[in-house]
Amino acid sequence: DAGITQSPRHKVTETGTPVTLRCHQTENHRYMYWYRQDPGHGLRLIHYSYGVKDTDKGEVSDGYSVSRSKTEDFLLTLESATSSQTSVYFCAISEPWRTEAFFGQGTRLTVV
């Protein structure tokens, strides 16, 4: 298995609170991604990073921010959690172009 660790694996939080999810890799891959997966929508890209301090938005970035201060760590922050952000969040890593993405175990987030 690719060396990708997500933490926490499960979290329940209250509406309006900030939440940070962490993705840690040991593969030294350049690209890191945050996806959310919801029934009927598949995997949707939230944000991605193509290097330290280099990030860009995906298709569902509203309400989320990211940071990457080290190659191995990519943080996803929900600035003020809402019930619509209840989802399963996956981190993925890859190298540029003709390579595959490898996924972490996922974080199940429930906002109540």
Partner 1 sequence: QKEVEQNSGPLSVPEGAIASLNCTYSDRGSQSFFWYRQYSGKSPELIMSIYSNGDKEDGRFTAQLNKASQYVSLLIRDSQPSDSATYLCAVNTGNQFYFGTGTSLTVIP
- Shortest Cβ 15–partner 1 spacing (Å): 25
Question: Measured between alpha carbons, how far is residue 54 from residues 2, 40, 47 in Å?
Answer: 22, 31, 11
Binding site for partner 1 (CB under 8 A): 31, 33, 35, 40-43, 45, 48, 50, 56, 58, 90, 92, 94, 96-106
Which residue lies nearer to partner 1 by CB, 14 or 97? 97
Q: Which residues contact 49 (CB under 8 A, 6 or more apart)?
A: 31, 32, 33, 55, 56, 66, 68, 74
Which residue lies nearer to partner 1 by CB, 70 or 108? 108
Which residue lies nearer to partner 1 by CB, 43 or 75? 43
- Shortest Cβ 99–partner 1 spacing (Å): 7
CA–CA separation, 78 and 38 (whole Å): 17
